[in-house]
Amino acid sequence: MNVASRSISLGVVLFSSLAASGQTPAQTSSPAKILIEPWVAKAADGVERPNPTQKFKEAYLPILYPSSHAANLLELKNGDVLCLWFSGSWEGSSEVGIVMSRRAKSSRNWGPTVLIDRRAGESFQNPVLFQEPDGTIDLYHSTQGADAGEANAHALHLVSKDNGVTWTNPELLFGKPGAFSRHPMVVLKDGTWMLPLSYVTSADIWKGAETNYSATELSSDQGKSWKECLMAETQGKIQPTVVSGVSDQLVAFFRSRASDFIYRSTSSDGCKWTPAVATVLPNNNASVQAFRLRDGNIVMAFDNSSINKQQGNGKQQGNEGLRKPVSIALSADDGKTWPYVRDVEVGRPGYGMAEQKPKEPGREEYSYPTIMQTRDGEILIAFTYRRQTIKVVSLKEDWIKKGGTSGEYKPGEASALH
């Protein structure tokens, strides 16, 4: 067993102290735009505070290593909420590991960020959590050789029997090259486990990425064996996030490598899927996540941005695929229409694509949201905040209907699937 470590490396101590003192300028196209701001390191203490303008509550999770990305949330049976993400020097580099912060049932604040595991020569990514009926927690995540590209990735599996305090060593789950996790397990009506996956077949997220595709892995024996089901016509459509639908239907939504729209597909059994078609929600070739609320509505957390903004019969240049704003959309018809959208994070005014490109903490990026509803009705959204930390926002469903968006899709301009 690997006991979760609370130790902080010397490099992180230096990073945090420099950031707190304001001595960490970043390389950007504009010397006046410093990417790392001192207050971020100071605010990253896990304490939940009210946002004075947005009228919700927010917390910045403690920084263990300089770069943080790709969070996922899970509420445990005991009422604790776990947030896991990957963290290290930078995505794809050696010893990027899986880390975790916990919000105890009795608290509104998040605890210290602790290390679950990391390995020299490997870069871990995209942790996904699932709690079995007996309380066992399964952790799935991808791994790739350091600086070797995502096409050689495969999927690993760890287990915790004590609510995430200690974990087993990771074991190979899916060895097929390019296997990437991102979104949580779905349990079907008959008890079958369904884990959504995507397969990266290209050198990067742009060149050749139209060959990437999605699949589901089904298990009828609680994860002892798996059956792969390819999702129909999903070339260039990846990271499926799946929710239960009406009449026993499953609904999947996809990130688009074309950076155009979020796509949608349905299935009655988790194996045979309808061809994915575009929704009205834009996509910037970054992850999105959907969640079925207790009242039956679906919420979608996403960047309200794409490379091309559709207008009339033609296309005009849109937001250049910026990873902002982070928005939340609400649907009452299984994701066919989205009448409400509201921004959760708009980012820094005047910071655009030039400040999003540097591969270093602090860049202008707000992305990879994860969304869930707790048993008491609270909606939690966690997302990458400038690659420095993870920001968690707490709100109620009615909040979504009371605001608007500065992003590309505005309800009323278009209302249904393309």
> H/E/C letters for each residue in 285-313?
CCCCEEEECCCCCEEEEEECCCCEEEECC
Dihedral (C-alpha) 413, 246, 272, 224: value to the nearest 10 degrees?
120
Strand spans (E) along 41-148: 49-50, 57-60, 67-75, 81-88, 97-103, 114-117, 122-131, 137-145
Q: What is the structure's pLDDT at 15?
A: 38
- Hey, how many other C-beta atoms are within 10 angstroms of the C-beta on 164? 21
Question: What's the CA gap between 410 and 93, in Å, rounded?
Answer: 38
Name the CATH architecture for the domain at 2-400: 6 Propeller (2.120)
- The tens place of each residue's pLDDT in the chain, 418 residues long, gives 443 333 333 233 333 333 333 333 344 344 558 899 999 999 999 999 999 899 999 999 999 999 999 999 999 999 999 999 999 999 999 999 999 999 999 999 999 999 999 999 999 999 999 999 999 999 999 999 999 999 999 999 999 999 999 999 999 999 999 999 999 999 999 999 999 999 999 988 889 999 999 999 999 999 999 999 999 999 999 999 999 877 789 999 999 999 999 999 999 999 999 999 999 999 999 999 999 999 999 999 999 999 975 544 444 445 678 999 999 999 999 999 999 999 999 999 999 999 999 999 999 999 999 999 999 999 999 999 999 999 999 999 999 999 899 999 999 875 566 6
Q: What is the structure's pLDDT at 318?
A: 54
Domain ranges for the chain, please list them: 2-400
Contact 283, 262 (CB under 8 A): yes
Contact 249, 269 (CB under 8 A): no
Question: What's the CA gap between 227 and 12, in Å, rounded?
Answer: 42
Contact 219, 163 (CB under 8 A): no
- Hey, how many other C-beta atoms are within 10 angstroms of the C-beta on 147? 11
Q: What is the structure's pLDDT at 8?
A: 36
Question: Does the pTM of the predicted model rise above 0.95?
Answer: no
Q: What is the structure's pLDDT at 412?
A: 82
Computed from CA positions of residues 209, 213, 219, 224, in that sequence, does the dihedral angle turn out positive or negative? negative
**Nearest CA among 84, 151, 152, 150 for reference residue 118:** 84
Question: What's the CA gap between 322 and 367, in Å, rounded?
Answer: 10
